[in-house]
Structure 1
């Protein structure tokens, strides 16, 4: 019996993973079982199991958390277990790496896009916005009664940071200098949307799931969100939605979002025989065939280039998402395990800036917090 610790607590995802593990188990002549806990508990549980020497054979970490475990020496270099990165784009290899070592194999990746209500934009005679100026003007025109022009998450959690990064990065901001002018401009843009009345003041407490609920209820004409919402969106047949790249500061700029998703890792248990088999399990679960199956189920984009090419042909409505993934970046690429301090500092800055404080002051304090690690 081999065990995988993951965050597939959702019934649908748990079933998809169980089916994939059954297929790989049959192929390898073993039994694979998953232990699923909420995403926020994976790291805590893995650290606790490491201290009691009861680690599972495989841990599926959120890619932003993996470097913390790798830094402590808790993971095996997957290339030593025979896994290849040949058909994986460099950005996605970096997504699963720490200090140049490949510790995490992604089955699929995701990022954010602009979702819009086709009927609302058509009735207003407005094109899909492509720049910040267009987004601000369009959101203002579409704000009417209980409906806001745009919904996004600026909550005090990783959701909010994930949603801010496309604005920060596309504007040339850098996570090493949170109080830099380009980062301040990005946060000021969010403040302008609230000032216009186009963005609800409740955005500071919304998760990405809350944002999707607002969009589906007709309380937002557009939203920033990811492909994990598609299954829910499709339950309402009367809702005609489309997706586009997240608007950029200036025409011609590249829309750069964060890569999201999880990576399969093999913990360092000291049992080389089990570790080798765990590597074979990871290779199977992240194979081209299994990636495509998982991506078609979950609406995510396969990490493998060959699987992604097939996915694009079969998911033409999500072409904009494939383009966003191609330009997306790993949150931990620059800072590694230091990302968590930056994330927490930014979360606090949103709460302050969007409820009245100047962006400059809020981000100056965020930079001090990130530098000190407090």
Structure 2
């Protein structure tokens, strides 16, 4: 497997609309692909951490052995990655295999840039329903998602024990526990409420679990969920800085001992373990005892662009299929602290990775963010994180904030 790095110039997303992409078309030769050899393909992905790269490179090397296809990788800086992909769609210079965030798939699929997996008879038996939904657009399956992530509640076990606090399982218990754990420069609770998809991603479990619906964000159910976050900040149980904290910033606060609980994902395990933080991962609190927790499905998907080179597309399909194999899923999940998306692997994975149980058990019920709205999810997400910002800064009450920022209000 060979490696090629590129520093692409980010192109403003405003320059590329779905309509323009559709008009440009996606057939023709693949200018980015390494030569005309059908057994050599170009795989494009956003640059990740050193560990992620090593784990994926090992899996890709195994897929080279399995498929007989030589894989050349091209790592593009994460910032501006989607803009670069949109530029490639417009200029008809797509790679042979393309990684996307599952939330971005509808936008690219709706342009006609991707080939449906049915063209290549790629099987996805056993995949969780939410994974299939996140990998589909307009009734067609366009991607394979080998591993997934979601979020849960991390608690500092020493802090809770010292305060005599049980792990909260409901919203009322969360507010009580967070208040009791706050003081002396420490906050009881931390989350990311930043004005990006990251803020929406963190809010969705509270929103969905209370009956919120992204097709109509301005409802009493959604407002009640947002009121919970407002109450935590207004009471001093959460810092006002949550408005700008990314999930990485939230983790930094937890590692430093400046918050006793946080909403975050399994990608934080390495830093927590290295710092020696005493922690436990549990399900996020429910609105009321017994309510179902609905969490968002995160992670990347692998797609086959419409390059016009049928032989290379067939080779690319064999690589994508290999990435979704049981062996690849287990290797990627174990190596990257993520979870396999084939529900038949969950029990084995938990047995081998017990610290991931709190996340792996959620896989069958994870919800795809784009399942209901497809490419229009982006507008709903923007409406949600805009309302969060407005409500947490006191600009409006939660329901009014959601009404003001709702798409097509």
State TM-score, norm by structure 1.
0.96
- State the 1:97 CA deviation: 0.9
Secondary structure of the corresponding residue to residue 173 of structure 1: coil
Secondary structure of the corresponding residue to residue 224 of structure 1: strand
Q: Aligned runs of 1:197-216 on 2, under 5 Å?
A: 197-216=236-255
Q: After the TM superposition, which of the residue ranges 217-226 and 85-94 deviates more from structure 2?
A: 85-94
The answer to whether residue 305 in structure 2 is matched with residue 305 in structure 1 is no
Q: Which of 253, 261, 276 is matched with 2:314 structurally?
A: 276
Q: Which of 124, 127, 152 is matched with 2:191 structurally?
A: 152
1:143–1:198: 8 Å Cα contact kept in structure 2? Answer: yes
- Determine the C-alpha separation between the residues in 2 that align with 1:307 and 1:56: 31
- Determine the C-alpha separation between the residues in 2 that align with 1:339 and 1:317: 32
2:69–2:315: 8 Å Cα contact kept in structure 1? Answer: no
- Determine the C-alpha separation between the residues in 2 that align with 1:234 and 1:371: 45
- State the 1:46 CA deviation: 1.5
2:253–2:259: 8 Å Cα contact kept in structure 1? Answer: yes
2:341–2:363: 8 Å Cα contact kept in structure 1? Answer: no
Q: Aligned runs of 1:235-314 on 2, under 5 Å?
A: 235-237=274-276, 239-314=277-352
- State the 1:304 CA deviation: 1.6
Secondary structure of the corresponding residue to residue 87 of structure 1: coil
The answer to whether residue 42 in structure 2 is matched with residue 3 in structure 1 is yes
- State the 1:365 CA deviation: 1.0
Q: Between Structure 1 and Structure 2, how many residues are aligned?
A: 369
Q: What's 1:331 paired with?
A: 369
2:169–2:285: 8 Å Cα contact kept in structure 1? Answer: yes
Q: Which of 353, 370, 373 is matched with 2:391 structurally?
A: 353
- Determine the C-alpha separation between the residues in 2 that align with 1:188 and 1:360: 9
Q: After the TM superposition, which of the residue ranges 314-323 and 96-105 deviates more from structure 2?
A: 314-323
Q: After the TM superposition, which of the residue ranges 183-192 and 312-321 deviates more from structure 2?
A: 312-321
Q: Which of 229, 246, 264 is matched with 1:190 structurally?
A: 229
Q: What's 2:382 paired with?
A: 344
2:343–2:364: 8 Å Cα contact kept in structure 1? Answer: no
1:106–1:286: 8 Å Cα contact kept in structure 2? Answer: yes
Q: What's 2:67 paired with?
A: 28
State TM-score, norm by structure 2.
0.88
Q: What's 1:59 paired with?
A: 98
Q: What's 2:16 paired with?
A: none
The answer to whether residue 352 in structure 2 is matched with residue 318 in structure 1 is no
Q: Which of 367, 371, 374 is matched with 2:408 structurally?
A: 371
Secondary structure of the corresponding residue to residue 371 of structure 1: coil
What residue ranges of structure 2 are gaps of 5+ in the alignment? 1-39
Q: Which of 152, 157, 162 is matched with 1:118 structurally?
A: 157
- Determine the C-alpha separation between the residues in 1 that align with 2:58 and 2:403: 48
Alignment RMSD: 1.2
What residue ranges of structure 1 are gaps of 5+ in the alignment? none
Q: What's 1:109 paired with?
A: 148
Q: Which of 172, 180, 192 is matched with 2:219 structurally?
A: 180
